[in-house]
Structure 1
Amino acid sequence: MMMWRVPELLPFLALGLFLGHVAADPDMLQDVCVADLSSAVKVNGFPCKVAFNASDFSTDVIAKPGPTNNTMGSLVTAANVLKVPGLNTLGVSLSRIDYAPGGLNPPHTHPRATEIVFILEGELEVGFISTANVLVSKTIKQGEVFVFPRGLVHFQKNNGNVPAAIIAAFNSQLPGTQSIPATLFACTPAVPDNVLTKAFQIGTKEVEKIKSRLAPKKGRELRPIEIQ
């Protein structure tokens, strides 16, 4: 059996420590760094404002249900650093998601955060897909929680006859959201049709039909999710 000496293990220990620190937002280096959202400076996060007050650390944006009269029957309202500047460098944020009966939060990912949801009302079918293409899914009811691991495709569906709502927490000030259908079929510039036809094993007409349905149209939103 191979025996490792401490000096030989040091590079691996250092790598482990490094990887442990890149799993979420970087640690802050001061008490607060309230985001200056008006600054033209681009950094990994936002530059700090010199003066701040309590309003920078508070919002009522998720206090009330949002309208769900859109194609997907769901609405995501984010309370991230863009709405609460005081979250800058703190590595946390919340969202509220409201669902009409039959409403769907379509398959999507958060590339920068793990998500945990708490059911405020109603019940949802939720699930995520592992990189081994295994679906982990269950129905959760009022008062229950469910976790979606960072970066994995996941969804929520209201199969009930009454509205539902959840609060979602993230270990990132700006977790990011990539809705799989919109990312592939409604991005700009467009993904080439021959890529989509081969990937999904469908014809060009089917691709164009999907694109036409997902393309933003005046007076109609596919899903009014906030860009993060």
Structure 2
Amino acid sequence: MKSLSFLTALSLLAITLHLVIASDPSPLQDFCVSTNTSADAVFVNGKFCKDPKLVTADDFFYSGLHEERSTASSPVGSVVTTVNVNNILGLNTLGISMVRIDYGVYGQNPPHTHPRATEILYCADGTLLVGFVTSNGDGNRLFTKTLNVGEVFVFPEGLIHFQVNIGQSTAVAFAGLSSQNPGVVTIANTLFGSKPLIDPKFLARAFQLDPSVIVDLQNKFQQKT
């Protein structure tokens, strides 16, 4: 009986160790350019990969991040131009992507998270107030910094973070992310613009607000989605 308990414990330990060290495997080839067709392709990491003999330099190329984007129609005063595996097919399996963010005067990139990536942000023009909030277990501490041109700030993976243009003119930032497809969860849109809507009574208690306030927020965010 003791030996059985020991073997059981040993098995559980082995499973636990396997889960702890699990991670994305190292690439076993130079690249795996994604393609939407299975012809002359293999299926790797959720995407088909083009035959390496058919790969060209254009599979690793993107043009357009130098172009300023208008923020006039954005309700939050910012526009994000994303460069990930969907528009550079050669990023597939490489674990990186980037964005350009244009901010209008007093524009913001509202509180959001990237569930699959850490972000490093570079202020290219203007003045930005940036920050992130730690998890519940770390006391929900707020870390903020004012960035001027040439300065950099890091947002840890999965934590809620934001940027606000606090200058008197437009601003621009570029960010690198540690995933080919980092994803984004904008907090307000997710909670108040879900389909179907979350019961406003539940959200009212969660935010300690009158249900009518929640309904008003849901009406506003439903119109944007």
Provide TM-score, normalisation by structure 2. Answer: 0.83
Number of matched pairs: 204
- Between 1 and 2, higher relative CO (CA 8 Å, sep ≥ 6) is seen in 1
Summarize the alignment of residues 13-28 of structure 1 with structure 2, pairs less than 5 Å apart: 15=17, 19=20, 22=23, 26-28=25-27
Q: Give the letter aligned to residue 163 of structure 1.
A: T
Summarize the alignment of residues 129-168 of structure 1 with structure 2, pairs less than 5 Å apart: 129-131=133-135, 132-168=139-175
146 and 199 in structure 1: CA distance in 2 versus 1, 3 angstrom threshold: same
Output one character per residue of 1:199-225: Cα deviation in whole Å (capped at 9) or x when no partner: 1111221111111222244xxx8xxxx
Summarize the alignment of residues 30-179 of structure 1 with structure 2, pairs less than 5 Å apart: 30-37=29-36, 44-50=45-51, 51-69=54-72, 70-131=74-135, 132-179=139-186
Q: Give the letter aligned to residue 31 of structure 2.
A: V
Query: Offset of 1:45 from its aligned partner?
Result: 3.6
Query: Offset of 1:38 from its aligned partner?
Result: 5.1
Query: What SS does the corresponding residue of 1:63 show, helix, strand or coil?
Result: coil
Larger strand fraction of residues: 2
Query: What SS does the corresponding residue of 2:153 show, helix, strand or coil?
Result: strand
Query: Offset of 1:18 from its aligned partner?
Result: 5.5
**Bigger Rg over Cα:** 2
In structure 1, C-alpha distance between the alignment counterparts of 2:175 and 2:79, rounded to whole Å: 13
Residue in 2 that maps onto 1:224: none
In structure 2, C-alpha distance between the alignment counterparts of 1:116 and 1:210, rounded to whole Å: 31
Larger helix fraction of residues: 2
Query: Offset of 1:65 from its aligned partner?
Result: 1.6
Q: What value does the CA root-mean-square deviation take over the aligned residues?
A: 2.2
Output one character per residue of 1:37-74: Cα deviation in whole Å (capped at 9) or x when no partner: 356x9974422022321111010132212121111000
Output one character per residue of 1:80-116: Cα deviation in whole Å (capped at 9) or x when no partner: 0011000000001110001001001000000000000
Query: What SS does the corresponding residue of 2:205 show, helix, strand or coil?
Result: helix
Query: Offset of 1:194 from its aligned partner?
Result: 1.9
Given that residues 26 and 91 in structure 1 are in contact (C-alpha distance below 8 angstroms), is that contact kept between their aligned partners in structure 2? Answer: no
The sequence identity of aligned pairs, in percent, is 43
